[in-house]
Amino acid sequence: MKNKLNRIKTPKDSETIVTEVVCPNDTNPMGILQGGKLVQWMDIASAVCAQNHAEHICVTASIDNVLFKTPAKIGDIVTIKAKMTRTFNSSMEIFVQAWAKKVVSQKAYLINEAYFTFVAIDDNGNPANEIIAIKPKTIDEKKQFDEAAKRKTARLKK
């Protein structure tokens, strides 16, 4: 088997898109999607992205800058996009955006975005030391890649 450290993937290779419908059990008494439910959906989408990239089981290490922009309501369709920004030794950063749209108008609007950090673990539950490298292709991917190191430094200072 080829050494994972010698392999390279692009952000598109592990990009994950999840779609959910906001149901009554997902909302508060005002019919607005609960923030915790949305973060749970985003966490699952980013976990799938991380695991597809790393080819290891991955666990959430941190969530940065969860910004609730606009509420989603009962009946809205929520689409969550998780995309790898950068890999480090045993961790990786994923940018996650959540969009909602009304069924009738089909108008989509950004409801949340955040950076998730995941750690790949080995069969013993220890951090894996073989994370596949990532090579950004687009201008936005390159910008996210470059800025990820700054975000990691800021996270570690907290």
pLDDT digits (tens, 9 = 90+) for 98-121: 999 998 888 999 999 999 999 999
pTM score > 0.85 for this model? yes
For the chain, give percent helix, strand, coil, nearest 5.
30, 40, 30
CATH class of 4-157: alpha beta
Instruction: Write out the E strands in 10-158.
Output: 16-21, 57-68, 77-87, 91-101, 108-121, 133-134
pLDDT score, position 130: 79
Distance CA 74, CA 14 (A): 30
pLDDT digits (tens, 9 = 90+) for 78-90: 999 999 999 998 8
What does the domain layout of the chain look like in residue ranges?
Answer: 4-157
Helix (H) or strand (E) holding 9: strand 8-9
**Burial of residue 9, with CB atoms counted within 10 A of its CB: 0-12 exposed, 13-18 middle, 19 or more buried:** middle
**pLDDT at position 156:** 81
Mean pLDDT rounded to a whole number for the chain = 92
Contact present, 73 and 31 (Cβ < 8 Å): yes
Cβ of 61: how many Cβ atoms within 10 Å? Answer: 16
CA 80 to CA 139: how far, in whole Å?
A: 21
